[in-house]
A and B are shown apart, each in its own frame.
Chain A
Amino acid sequence: MKALQIHRSPARFGMARVVSAVSSAGGVHVGPLELRAVDDPPRPGDGWHRVHTRLSGVCGSDLSLVGGQASVYFDDWVSFPFVPGHEVVGELDDGTRVVLEPVLGHEARGFDPPFEGAAPGDGNDYAHLVGGTIDVGIQTGFCCATGGGWGPWLWAHESQLHRLDKTVPDERAVLVEPFAGGIHAALLAAPVVADVDDPIVAVLGAGTMGLATVAGLRRYVPGVRIAVGARYPHQRALAHEFGADVVVPDDQLLRAVRREVGCHVIGGHLSGGADVTIDAVGSAASVTEALSMTRPRGRVVLLGMPGEVSLDLTGLWHRETELKGAYTYGTETLADGTRARTFDLALDTVAEVRAERLVSATYRIDDHVDAIAHAAAAGRRGAVKIAFDLRTDSLQAGDLQDDNRRVS
């Protein structure tokens, strides 16, 4: 089949890193991503289904890979060459539409789940991610054995599939995965604010993940006041619509939090601050800012993948700030004590907020250079989510179907 694929090529990763430092989309020309004919991966085993991609989103972690920015940490957690694409809505051979929960968890790898009814992301030992019946890979889209969403089809384990109602449009369904990530981050705020009067959660960044977090906070963390820093006007408008109480340009968030709390500014830090700050950007600057605006003994949740950053952590030490990562999703405990799978919460949330409006543009896979460029400059270009459209029943995809037949 013809698919976009990433090879292990230190030279190409290096070149992409250099070029993308100048142009955020430039790395795609020289980097490790290639559109090519790839061998069909063999069926990994029983319980695996062929999923024909309909839409597959471009995520920030994809962009960092394409731009050669991803941390070497992942070298041991992925298997090359792989077809990227983990935000996927697709179709089974029988025509059933599904959303993919991309984590390749215990069941997909032939292990017993850590508890009955566990989601793929659950479990406190990640050994299974590099073992079992398939190759190494944290998720579909990072594993050579399964394929990924940036190709015409992929293999998905039964434990990864969420079947969709006919009424759910593809454009909404493709946002379930990022929304699950945002909701998971939002719920990481819940324990910190549970016993606080008039709690405040600050969200830094209002791309797809930031907006999903805002929606998650509003729905699943009751009574919290949400302050959002968003760089672009359309992001600010959406943050308001998704339930934020205070929305300001990103460089004004610290001052906005101070006003909400009524604390002092000492040096570059607030004397008090937000109970929780969720950093949906993931840069050295954003982590530093998050630490500056979070109250002593508060929590900073890193939702945006930070990679290699240089930080002064003296403030974190002095303020006893808790730094917490927020990776994917799993099984959540809600405020009323009930437990739910994050993907189920996300399916409800995307319907409530009509998340399909976040899909700003879809591209054929042949136009991946334009797609990546658009995604890399999404905010500046007034966009939120960019996705590949591989639907065979769409006007654009007609050509693609021919291509696919020819290649395969």
Chain B
Amino acid sequence: MPRPGFVLDVDRSTPPTLFWRGEGFSLERLPVDRTRIIYPPEPLDGLPNLDGAIRDALLNPIDMDPLPSLLGPDMKLTICFDDASLSLPKMQRPDNRQRIVEAVLDLAAAAGVDDVHIIAALGLHRRMHEYELRHVLGDRVVDAFLPRGTLYQHDAEDPDNLAVIGETTHGEIVEINKRAADSDLVVYANVNQVAMDGGWKSLTTGLASYRCLSHHHNPESLQNTRSLMDRHHSALHHSIWRMGEVLRDSGPKVFQVETTINTEAFPSPFEFLSKREWEWSGRDRALFVGATKSLKRTPTPMKRKIFHSIESPYRTTSVQAGFTESVHERTLENVYAQHLVEVEGQTDILTMGIPFISPYNPESIMNPILVMCMGLGYLFNMYRGKPLVREGGVIIMTHPTYADFHPVHHPSYIDFYEQVLTDTTDPAEMAARWEKQYAEDEWYRHLYRTSYAYHGVHPFYAWYWGAHGLQHAGRVIVVGGDPQAVRRIGFTPASTLNDALEIAADVVGRSATISHLHVPGVLVADVK
């Protein structure tokens, strides 16, 4: 029986705590008697027969007719799936999306459906490389559909292949992929790793245009998203759910398939990363020392290669299919069952280690903008109720924060770093002054459509993701980062955790209380 997450009060007997530092990690001693560490629950058990569970979900959906009854010979069927931003790290093959798509294709073939398109729902993310498509969908699906042109990636900048479904009561235009809009049935294959994803968000971001996305991907929405992991208190999700209503009433029939996975992210020899430090065996300690020393001697590109090659042995904890809203409520229950940890009250300081990966740099570089996004966007938002740190408190992150960018994946990020961040770090100001220029830049548009670049506007979205955290924190300190890059993103550099705590004392005093969000794994603090 996996143990639940818990809160450990640090005392003299507490061993040093693991902190991610990008493509590396360190052990840090946290101050005694004023620090608590929030540990995630242990990974839940997986379903014993995943393929059977998927088939069962398709045949016994929630609030919808069984999938076979929705399929017929003369219909247009479109299957959409989450892109390479999920899961992190990527799951070992076969990926859940492959299992779902193959099961749906089996049923479609049995029903005589000929007109089937498969679309990667990548929104404004970069296109997936073929090897990524093969990893996610499997060779059989890719070989059958890719050469015929019926497996492709959503293009949010192709005006001929976008369709307006309607408008919400708030004037938000719902514009999605035309093929999906014109389909008799859209099946969405999802992998749900955090509570933020899934539900109507799958279609209204993954298949949307920039125009559609800009209604909720903006500073105002993100500043009023409390939090990203709590859709009922998230302005972003409120907008998305309004769009979902338009889809429900005026759009194609959508059959949502969502799977939840546990937190078993690290295979051998990295499994010690998921353990609690005082339970490390002699082998774990040796592995930590060995890995740390060899990583220190390894060039950064090689380190990236090693970490991005990790394939996680996740187990799937649930599968649900049917009507999107009903499915997603069930999904959230299952996600929270894995992630929630009850925490009493807020502290003055929140510490967190930033890993090598975020949703926006699979097989790529964690540039300074993504460090901000991962820290203040994702990890800070891992709460329900109240943030772990009080308003005006200090957030301390550990990451090398090198000013290094992937030139193919993140071209507009480089300009954003050089031009926008030298002008302002304020989300609202940058939105007003710069967003349009980047969103409409023809070169970025060209690279997004034909190469493997994130959309020109994407660095803004990554920055907006941290808008609530930026507004909430009195100061953000990055330990071990390149000072120039750290200052460029508006944060304070520190050499060591102790230095960072000294700096933090100027804001919150010397006896400030501290929460450490233990990463990895993944948890959502339910702060009372």
A residues adjacent to B (C-beta < 8 A): 248, 252, 255-256, 258-259, 262-265, 271
Complex Cα distance, B415 from A263, in Å, reads 13
For the complex of A and B, list the 8 residue pairs with the smallest distance between their C-beta atoms, beginning with the closest.
A264-B443, A252-B418, A259-B415, A255-B415, A259-B419, A262-B441, A262-B442, A264-B446
Interface residues of B in 405-454 (CB under 8 A from A): 411, 414-415, 418-419, 437, 441-443, 446
Complex Cα distance, B442 from A258, in Å, reads 11
Contacts of B414 in A (CB 8 A): 255
A256 touches B419 (CB 8 A): yes
Complex Cα distance, B414 from A259, in Å, reads 11
A255 touches B443 (CB 8 A): no
Contacts of A256 in B (CB 8 A): 418-419
Complex Cα distance, B414 from A262, in Å, reads 15
- Describe A's contact surface by its main secondary structure: mixed
Residue of A nearest to B437 (CB): A259
Q: List 9 A-B contacts (CB under 8 A).
A: A256-B419, A258-B443, A259-B437, A259-B441, A262-B442, A262-B443, A264-B442, A265-B443, A271-B443
Contacts of A248 in B (CB 8 A): 418
- Additional A-B contact list (19), CB under 8 Å, known A252-B418, A262-B441: A248-B418, A255-B414, A255-B415, A255-B418, A256-B418, A256-B419, A258-B443, A259-B415, A259-B419, A259-B441, A262-B442, A262-B443, A263-B443, A264-B442, A264-B443, A264-B446, A265-B411, A265-B443, A271-B443
Residue of B nearest to A263 (CB): B443
Contacts of B415 in A (CB 8 A): 255, 259
Residue of B nearest to A249 (CB): B418
Complex Cα distance, B443 from A271, in Å, reads 10
| Cβ distance A2 to chain B, nearest Cβ, rounded Å | 47
Contacts of B443 in A (CB 8 A): 258, 262-265, 271
| Cβ distance A193 to chain B, nearest Cβ, rounded Å | 22
Contacts of B411 in A (CB 8 A): 265
Complex Cα distance, B446 from A271, in Å, reads 13
Chain B interface residue bracket vs A: 10 to 19
| Cβ distance B439 to chain A, nearest Cβ, rounded Å | 12
| Cβ distance A5 to chain B, nearest Cβ, rounded Å | 45
B residues adjacent to A (C-beta < 8 A): 411, 414-415, 418-419, 437, 441-443, 446
Contacts of B418 in A (CB 8 A): 248, 252, 255-256
Contacts of A263 in B (CB 8 A): 442-443
Contacts of A271 in B (CB 8 A): 443
| Cβ distance A102 to chain B, nearest Cβ, rounded Å | 40
Contacts of A252 in B (CB 8 A): 418
| Cβ distance B194 to chain A, nearest Cβ, rounded Å | 34
Residue of B nearest to A248 (CB): B418
Residue of B nearest to A252 (CB): B418
Complex Cα distance, B414 from A264, in Å, reads 14
| Cβ distance A264 to chain B, nearest Cβ, rounded Å | 4
Residue of B nearest to A251 (CB): B418
Complex Cα distance, B443 from A258, in Å, reads 9
Contacts of B419 in A (CB 8 A): 256, 259
| Cβ distance B248 to chain A, nearest Cβ, rounded Å | 40
Complex Cα distance, B437 from A259, in Å, reads 9
Complex Cα distance, B450 from A264, in Å, reads 13
| Cβ distance A271 to chain B, nearest Cβ, rounded Å | 8
| Cβ distance A329 to chain B, nearest Cβ, rounded Å | 35
| Cβ distance A202 to chain B, nearest Cβ, rounded Å | 15
| Cβ distance A249 to chain B, nearest Cβ, rounded Å | 8
Contacts of A258 in B (CB 8 A): 443
Contacts of A265 in B (CB 8 A): 411, 443
Residue of A nearest to B434 (CB): A259
Complex Cα distance, B419 from A255, in Å, reads 10
Complex Cα distance, B411 from A279, in Å, reads 26
Contacts of B442 in A (CB 8 A): 262-264
Contacts of B446 in A (CB 8 A): 264
Residue of A nearest to B414 (CB): A255
Complex Cα distance, B437 from A32, in Å, reads 54
Among B437, B441, B442, B443, the most chain A Cβ lie within 10 Å of the Cβ of B443
Residue of A nearest to B422 (CB): A248
| Cβ distance B487 to chain A, nearest Cβ, rounded Å | 13
| Cβ distance B367 to chain A, nearest Cβ, rounded Å | 15
Complex Cα distance, B419 from A343, in Å, reads 37
| Cβ distance A227 to chain B, nearest Cβ, rounded Å | 11
| Cβ distance A20 to chain B, nearest Cβ, rounded Å | 30
Complex Cα distance, B437 from A248, in Å, reads 18
Residue of A nearest to B445 (CB): A264
Complex Cα distance, B416 from A256, in Å, reads 11
Contacts of B441 in A (CB 8 A): 259, 262
Complex Cα distance, B445 from A263, in Å, reads 11
Contacts of A259 in B (CB 8 A): 415, 419, 437, 441
| Cβ distance A272 to chain B, nearest Cβ, rounded Å | 10
| Cβ distance A237 to chain B, nearest Cβ, rounded Å | 13
Complex Cα distance, B393 from A329, in Å, reads 61
| Cβ distance A269 to chain B, nearest Cβ, rounded Å | 13
| Cβ distance B444 to chain A, nearest Cβ, rounded Å | 10
Residue of B nearest to A246 (CB): B419
Complex Cα distance, B419 from A256, in Å, reads 8
Among A248, A259, A271, the most chain B Cβ lie within 10 Å of the Cβ of A259
Complex Cα distance, B411 from A252, in Å, reads 13
| Cβ distance B454 to chain A, nearest Cβ, rounded Å | 16
| Cβ distance B120 to chain A, nearest Cβ, rounded Å | 25
| Cβ distance A254 to chain B, nearest Cβ, rounded Å | 11
Residue of B nearest to A265 (CB): B443
Complex Cα distance, B335 from A163, in Å, reads 84
Complex Cα distance, B419 from A265, in Å, reads 17
Complex Cα distance, B217 from A163, in Å, reads 65
| Cβ distance B240 to chain A, nearest Cβ, rounded Å | 32
Complex Cα distance, B330 from A133, in Å, reads 99
Complex Cα distance, B411 from A258, in Å, reads 12
Complex Cα distance, B437 from A252, in Å, reads 18
Complex Cα distance, B96 from A127, in Å, reads 82
| Cβ distance B413 to chain A, nearest Cβ, rounded Å | 12
Complex Cα distance, B446 from A295, in Å, reads 19
Complex Cα distance, B437 from A262, in Å, reads 9
| Cβ distance A250 to chain B, nearest Cβ, rounded Å | 12
| Cβ distance A70 to chain B, nearest Cβ, rounded Å | 36
Complex Cα distance, B412 from A265, in Å, reads 12
| Cβ distance A257 to chain B, nearest Cβ, rounded Å | 11
| Cβ distance A40 to chain B, nearest Cβ, rounded Å | 55
| Cβ distance B119 to chain A, nearest Cβ, rounded Å | 27
Complex Cα distance, B446 from A262, in Å, reads 12
Complex Cα distance, B446 from A256, in Å, reads 18
Contacts of A264 in B (CB 8 A): 442-443, 446
| Cβ distance A226 to chain B, nearest Cβ, rounded Å | 16
| Cβ distance B30 to chain A, nearest Cβ, rounded Å | 38
| Cβ distance B122 to chain A, nearest Cβ, rounded Å | 22
Complex Cα distance, B11 from A275, in Å, reads 66
Complex Cα distance, B441 from A259, in Å, reads 8
Complex Cα distance, B415 from A252, in Å, reads 9
Complex Cα distance, B236 from A81, in Å, reads 77
Residue of B nearest to A266 (CB): B443
Residue of A nearest to B411 (CB): A265
Complex Cα distance, B443 from A264, in Å, reads 5
| Cβ distance A49 to chain B, nearest Cβ, rounded Å | 51
| Cβ distance B403 to chain A, nearest Cβ, rounded Å | 11
Residue of A nearest to B418 (CB): A252
| Cβ distance A256 to chain B, nearest Cβ, rounded Å | 7
Contacts of A262 in B (CB 8 A): 441-443
| Cβ distance A182 to chain B, nearest Cβ, rounded Å | 26
